Amino acid sequence: MKLVMKKLKIFVYVLPFVFLISCIENEKTLWGDSLVEFDATVLNAPALGKDFPLLTRVPLYGRPVVTTGASANPVITRASGTISFRVNFVSPQRSSAETIGLVVVDAETTAIEGVHYTISNTITIAANSSYADYVVNVIDPGVPSATPVDLVVELTGNETIDPSPNYKRLGIRISQN
């Protein structure tokens, strides 16, 4: 019995040291690839059956859209005018400006450019910056309708910066009431 207790004591005292000194060597990577992403896509849940959110309200920077209560964000309507969406640069800042490409996702978009909205197909992230604002100009077509229209844009990146696979798309639903 004494022998068993002695072996148990040794086991209890030695085992923690084995775990403390047997560690896995990891390479610490601060940054991998340089990526861009939509802030609103990171902070809001994807729409049902989509890989991107379909926003019906104007998001504020750095927080998800609030849909109820006194602090609810304004609804996106044909009278919204200019709406800005933050694009995050997930990488160490660069000493020169970076121009990032964007495209309209035609298969997901029902809004018509020049009738419901105008946008640029590029965005410039300034030197020594981690973000830029992407502007969507919502146009009032003049005729109210009960059917909203959707605009879905996708970041395409550039030669050295890729779009984040999970956060590259952003959808907005423009109410026509």
- Give tens-digit pLDDT for 106-156: 999 999 999 999 999 999 999 999 999 999 999 998 888 889 999 999 999
End-to-end CA distance of the chain: 85
Domain that holds residue 77: 29-174
- SS3 letters across 12-35: HHHHHHHHHHCCCCCCCCCCCCCE
Would residue 146 count as lying in a domain?
A: yes
Would residue 111 count as lying in a domain?
A: yes
Query: Is the CB of residue 95 less than 8 Å from the CB of residue 133?
Result: no
Strand 54-55 and strand 169-174: the pairing is parallel
Would residue 129 count as lying in a domain?
A: yes
Would residue 81 count as lying in a domain?
A: yes
Global confidence as pTM: 0.79
Residue 85 is predicted with a pLDDT of 94
Would residue 4 count as lying in a domain?
A: no
Would residue 98 count as lying in a domain?
A: yes
Would residue 56 count as lying in a domain?
A: yes
- CA dihedral sign of residues 136, 139, 140, 143: negative
- Residue 131: CATH number of its domain: 2.60.40.1510
pLDDT, one tens digit per residue, over 59-114 is 887 778 888 888 888 889 999 999 999 999 998 999 999 999 999 999 999 999 99
Extract the runs of DSSP E, i.e. beta strands, from 29-175: 35-38, 54-55, 82-90, 98-104, 117-119, 122-125, 131-138, 149-157, 162-163, 169-174
Residue 159 is predicted with a pLDDT of 94
pLDDT, one tens digit per residue, over 13-60 is 666 666 666 566 666 655 578 999 999 999 999 999 999 999 999 888
